[in-house]
Amino acid sequence: MDHIFVASEIHKLEKVIVHRPDAGIARIGPRRAEELLFDDIVYLPDIQKEHDIFTGILRKSLGDDNVLFIHDLLLEALNADQAKQEEVIARIIDFEELPSKYIQVLAELDNEKLADALITGYLAEQDLFLFDPIPNFIFTRDIAVTINDHVVITKAYKVARFRENFLTRFIFYAHPMFEELRNSQRIINMNDVELFPPSRQGEKVSIEGGDIMVLNQDYLLTGCSERTTGYGIQSLKNVLFERGVIKNLVQVNIPSERSYMHIDTVMTMIREDHVVCYRPLVFDGLSSFVTVYRSNGEQSAYYSLKDFLLTEINPEMQFIFAGGGVSPYQEREQWTDGCNLLALKSGVAVAYDRNPKTQEALTQAGYTTISAKDFLDSSLDAEKTENTIITFPSSELSRARGGSHCMTLPILRNSGVRG
């Protein structure tokens, strides 16, 4: 069985990468929150508690060994490859425009302290703030995406996320877990300017994982959004078609606004015939034109995601509306990630607990809602649970503008099918 394979959003989740909110988040002040892509300052102890509950759900469902934490992966990668360790330190020091003496300072740290410093930006040994925090690292969906048996390392749009990108590349190119992936050349690095140069008009590649969804083995859905450019999507399309990874790439144009920063903020799939979505964009088709590019060179167009999904993915698809599809609740609950759910398997998903109108819509669609506490305290077998939404506390997490889908990078889902 492959260690890296994802052929849909809803097959049974078996291995996932997450990042626990780190101490750097506590350094974000109101004046710099927007620059660092947070809409508000958060309280570190509470955001960590909420995230721990979330990962508790994942651990119970997948097993402890299959919930992988960025800090642990980074530490293991640092231990595994000294040469690449030195390279990533030099790259980060250069990017952060720091004196070269800090290359040696970091290189002399033991790897546990080095991992802490690279993530938080804080050098405890000298009580020194070397770098800005990277609070968005909790949204591991954005840093990479598994498409069938390939991994695409994405390229962030905002400078505030560039250090995340350096660390992600280091993990995938140095960690022993990904050795076979590297040896078989199944990593696509969108940051390689030799392979993905700017366009003739000077456009640079920008593509984030929240704008990429694997609908099934043949269809990849991409959002052209505030964070992902059309040129980035076309660059990805070309390499995926050349390698035969997928047969169809679907581009959805959504408004370039903070409210809809990624396609997964307006839609996620939780069952073969169910999507949870923001009605104005997905169902009514406002500002969301769809183009389907096919590997044989043909194209098709649709005026809404609804039309595309019903025509090409599942004619029985049902649309569950965030906020019940009624204003002002749909705007409120789309903002607090009512559309952003993680499927543990088909029909079982994890969601924030703060979207009551969306929960009512899910109940009307046949789902039972259970709190994280009740789920974790019960003897429920996640394997045997059906048509269930597990909700968890989100007062602090929701301030960061991303839900359970955003906070996970699936690297293995069990479909029973291999390419």
pLDDT tier at 30, thresholds 50, 70, 90: confident
pLDDT tier at 10, thresholds 50, 70, 90: very high
For residue 382, give Cα distances in angstroms to 49, 91, 314, 345, 404.
22, 43, 26, 9, 17
Rounded distance between C-alpha atoms, residue 380 and residue 369, angstroms: 13
Residue spans per domain, the chain: 12-414
Tell me: the pLDDT tens digits for 362-402?
999 999 999 999 999 998 877 789 999 999 999 999 888 89
CATH architecture classification, 12-414 = 5-stranded Propeller (3.75)
Rounded distance between C-alpha atoms, residue 92 and residue 185, angstroms: 25
**Beta-carbon-side half-sphere exposure of residue 150 (alpha carbons within 13 Å):** 22
Least confident of 109-123, 141-155, 403-417: 403-417
Q: Which amino acid is at 40?
A: D
Tell me: the pLDDT tens digits for 192-234?
999 999 999 988 899 999 999 999 999 999 999 888 999 999 9
Residue 287 clears pLDDT 90, i.e. is over it: no
Mean pLDDT for the chain?
93
| Residue 1: per-residue pLDDT | 37
Tell me: the pLDDT tens digits for 322-370?
999 999 999 999 999 999 999 999 999 999 999 999 999 999 999 999 9
Of the candidates 4, 412, 416, 411, the residue with the CA atom closest to the CA atom of residue 181: 4
| Residue 383: per-residue pLDDT | 79
Q: At what angle do helices 82-95 and 162-174 cross, to 10 degrees?
A: 170
pTM of the entire structure?
0.95
Residues near 406 by beta carbon (within 8 Å), at least 6 away in sequence:
139, 141, 142, 210, 262, 264, 337, 340
Let me know: does 148 contact 245? Beta carbons within 8 Å.
Answer: yes
Element at 123 (helix H, strand E): strand 122-123
Residue 37 clears pLDDT 90, i.e. is over it: no
Residue 2 clears pLDDT 70, i.e. is over it: no
pLDDT tier at 21, thresholds 50, 70, 90: very high
Of all residues in the chain, the percent with pLDDT exceeding 70 is 97
